[in-house]
Amino acid sequence: MAGVSFEWSTPPRGLPAPEAPSRFTFNASVEQVLVVASVFFVLAANRPFFAAAMHGHDPADPATWGFVLALATLLTSAHFLMMALVANRWTLKPVLAVLIVATALATYFMARYSVYFDATMVRNVLRTDPSEARELLSLTLLPHLLLYAVLPLVLLARVRIVNRPLLRAGLVRALALLLAVAAAVASVLAASQPFASLMRNHREVRYLITPGNVVWSLGAVLASDSRHAVRPLQPIGLDARPGPSWAQRSKPMVMVLVVGETVRAANWGLNGYARQTTPELARLPLVNFSDVVSCGTNTEVSLPCMFAPVGRRDYDERRIRGSQGLLHVLARAGVAVQWRDNQSGCKGVCDGLPNDSVQSLDVPGLCSDGRCLDEGLGHGLDQRLAQARGTQLLVLHMLGNHGPAYFRRYPSTFARFTPACENDDLQHCSREQIVNAYDNALLYTDHVLASLIRQLGAQADRVDSALLYVSDHGESLGENRLFLHGIPYPIAPSVQTRVPMVLWTSPGFAQTTGLDLACLRQRAGVSVSHDHLFHSLLGLLDVQTQLYDPQWDFSATCRHDVVGSAR
């Protein structure tokens, strides 16, 4: 019979007697181990879940504790059921060992950075490169792992699984599953009202249930990836073609789209932040969009979304990940597209298109420990402009303000706000030091962007050029004790979803495209979003397709018809 405690069992009749248990060895059945493991996971790994679930409940009210008890019973039963589906006397220990280690790592990062382990977080973890992982790991992880992984693993190693005859084992398992289902149903019924309200108002808390969240989200990611692995990206914009203005262009046209990383609008000097974090851009004739909403709160969501024809306004991750995006449509019309990466890749948006990475360029003095400074993105741009023909789009994917090691994102000459946090582990720094390091990284982004614009400007007599910069998502810097980013979109704080965006054009680019910059500057305070990117680039580069929707082109009302006026 399954029970919570271990038992010193007698050998079942008909089976060889197990060795007498040594001093530190426990005999236990699979079900008994699973019950203990479920209780351990619920008690040791779910503090953030219970804190979130109790939010708004009065701790002095006995009903609150009834609710907590019901939730604890439900979680224990659910974890028992989840593990009982795959655990037998041979698989039990490997399955538990993997879950214990995954849970210890997950709880460490959940507590430290207030992250939710949903599918995108698991995708982030799976795509983390070694240099990123190095920056996230710190010495404080060791004691946490000792307590929550090594100790349970040692105990698990001391368990000797009791061997039951097949029929009896089957009966015990069936009874245990039945009991777990009954306990789960009873706990939901006992607290149905607060439970329903929790699921209605704070559905995202289910991604705090550990290790269920890791297992569930990993399953979702693997299912989605295997679907895409067998199916190529769905082509879109098959009708894309150059617009009539192309025939009238006397010069090559080069558009540079810079995809920023983790830069939040709140700290952007051009948006009126108390510090001047964009001194070089402030001296250039730019259009600064001061109210821009990102599609996601992390790169894995934002990047594919911002290149899709329909992004956040009717969000469908499956459709976005399964389809081609803006770059494929532009390439189809004859735009020479090139992606250059200084981060974790293009997340599918440049699939099949020319791309390279700053690391592969091997620019002297810019790279160390597998990371390169963003100045490398402009490497070779002068020659590219000198040889430019036709219409080109160069996409530069920055490392930007990728945390938590903000201080590694800029050379020491940009350490102007001091003292800056110079530790990979933010817990060792004050909030002021963290913000200083973050703002220094912004100064460097400002410098990189201004340098690119100067490079474009220097050849404006022979190439019509423009640069559009937009960040992928924002960042929390300790507000409400949140750090980094990746909070589920519906509950994300605005610092994670408000991003900077600027546009610079050469005089020739504005003239050729009929763009009225004064009009656009006036319009730039109106709210726009990542959803505007797809249509605005089609509009600015004059690529025609049925997909184009002028409502989502931020430049549409500020461009006059150059073909019509030229006639």
Which is nearer to Zn ion, 106 or 301 (by Cβ)?
Answer: 301
343 binds Zn ion (CB under 5 A): no
Tokens 């002021």 belong to 432
Which is nearer to Zn ion, 70 or 484 (by Cβ)?
Answer: 484
Amino acid occupying residue 324: Q
Shortest approach of Zn ion to residue 528 CB, angstroms? Answer: 19
Shortest approach of Zn ion to residue 304 CB, angstroms? Answer: 12
Interface stretch with Zn ion, choices 47-55, 260-268, 322-330, 527-535 (CB under 5 A):
260-268
Which is nearer to Zn ion, 38 or 262 (by Cβ)?
Answer: 262
Shortest approach of Zn ion to residue 28 CB, angstroms? Answer: 46
Shortest approach of Zn ion to residue 298 CB, angstroms? Answer: 6
Which is nearer to Zn ion, 472 or 542 (by Cβ)?
Answer: 472
Interface stretch with Zn ion, choices 3-11, 28-36, 100-108, 255-263 (CB under 5 A):
255-263
Site size toward Zn ion, by CB under 5 A: 3
Amino acid occupying residue 164: R
Q: Where are the alpha helices (DSSP H) in 429-561?
A: 431-458, 494-497, 507-513, 517-523, 531-540
Which is nearer to Zn ion, 135 or 472 (by Cβ)?
Answer: 472
8 HSE (CA, 13 A, CB side)? 7
Which is nearer to Zn ion, 299 or 529 (by Cβ)?
Answer: 299
Strands 528-529 and 287-293, bridge-based pairing:
parallel
Do residues 427 and 457 touch, judged by C-beta distance below 8 A?
no
Which is nearer to Zn ion, 299 or 391 (by Cβ)?
Answer: 299
Do residues 519 and 148 touch, judged by C-beta distance below 8 A?
no
Residues 6+ apart with CB under 8 A from 335: 390, 391, 392, 393, 541, 543
Interface stretch with Zn ion, choices 254-262, 322-330, 441-449, 456-464 (CB under 5 A):
254-262
Query: What would the x/- binding string for Zn ion be over residues 309 to 338, using CB under 5 A?
Result: ------------------------------
Which is nearer to Zn ion, 169 or 326 (by Cβ)?
Answer: 326
Do residues 176 and 76 touch, judged by C-beta distance below 8 A?
no
Tokens 């963290």 belong to 434
Shortest approach of Zn ion to residue 299 CB, angstroms? Answer: 3
Interface stretch with Zn ion, choices 51-59, 111-119, 242-250, 467-475 (CB under 5 A):
467-475
Shortest approach of Zn ion to residue 193 CB, angstroms? Answer: 40
Which is nearer to Zn ion, 261 or 439 (by Cβ)?
Answer: 261
Which is nearer to Zn ion, 104 or 492 (by Cβ)?
Answer: 492
Residue 348: count other Cβ atoms within 10 Å of its Cβ: 18
Q: Which residue has its beta carbon closest to Zn ion?
A: 299
Q: Token digits for 512?
A: 């050729």
- Interface positions, 274-303, toward Zn ion (CB under 5 A): 299
Do residues 161 and 94 touch, judged by C-beta distance below 8 A?
no
Residues 6+ apart with CB under 8 A from 416: 440, 443
Q: Measuring CA to CA, which residue among 136, 134, 159, 167 is closest to residue 15?
A: 167
CA distance 372 to 42: 42
Q: Is 337 helix (H, G, I), strand (E, B) or coil?
A: strand
Shortest approach of Zn ion to residue 552 CB, angstroms? Answer: 22
Residue 467's DSSP bridge partners are: 256, 504
Q: Measuring CA to CA, which residue among 110, 281, 123, 289 is closest to residue 211?
A: 110
Shortest approach of Zn ion to residue 201 CB, angstroms? Answer: 28
Interface stretch with Zn ion, choices 252-260, 323-331, 469-477, 544-552 (CB under 5 A):
469-477
Do residues 158 and 24 touch, judged by C-beta distance below 8 A?
yes
Crossing angle of helices 47-54 and 62-84, in 10° steps, is 140
DSSP percent split of the chain into helix, strand, coil, nearest 5? 55, 15, 35
Specify the DSSP class assigned to residue 114. -
Shortest approach of Zn ion to residue 26 CB, angstroms? Answer: 47
Shortest approach of Zn ion to residue 92 CB, angstroms? Answer: 39
Shortest approach of Zn ion to residue 261 CB, angstroms? Answer: 5
Interface stretch with Zn ion, choices 228-236, 256-264, 289-297, 372-380 (CB under 5 A):
256-264
DSSP per-residue codes, 314-331: G--HHHHHHB--HHHHHH
Interface stretch with Zn ion, choices 158-166, 169-177, 258-266, 557-565 (CB under 5 A):
258-266
Q: Measuring CA to CA, which residue among 517, 475, 452, 471 is closest to residue 281?
A: 452
Shortest approach of Zn ion to residue 180 CB, angstroms? Answer: 40
Q: Measuring CA to CA, which residue among 328, 280, 240 is closest to residue 469?
A: 280
Which is nearer to Zn ion, 277 or 299 (by Cβ)?
Answer: 299
Give the angle subtended at the CA of 192 by the CAs of 186 and 194, to the nearest 5°. Answer: 135
Interface stretch with Zn ion, choices 233-241, 259-267, 442-450, 487-495 (CB under 5 A):
259-267
Which is nearer to Zn ion, 261 or 464 (by Cβ)?
Answer: 261
DSSP per-residue codes, 15-48: SPPPPPP-TT-EEE-HHHHHHHHHHHHHHHH-HH
Q: What are phi and psi of 291, to 5 degrees?
A: -135, 85
CA distance 143 to 151: 11
Residues 6+ apart with CB under 8 A from 493: 476, 479, 480, 482, 487
- Interface positions, 369-408, toward Zn ion (CB under 5 A): none
- Find the binder of Zn ion among 446, 472, 475, 542 (CB under 5 A): 472
Shortest approach of Zn ion to residue 485 CB, angstroms? Answer: 7
Which is nearer to Zn ion, 218 or 398 (by Cβ)?
Answer: 398
Shortest approach of Zn ion to residue 410 CB, angstroms? Answer: 17
Residue 211: count other Cβ atoms within 10 Å of its Cβ: 25
Which is nearer to Zn ion, 464 or 472 (by Cβ)?
Answer: 472
Which residues of the shown chain bind Zn ion in the complex (CB under 5 A)? 261, 299, 472
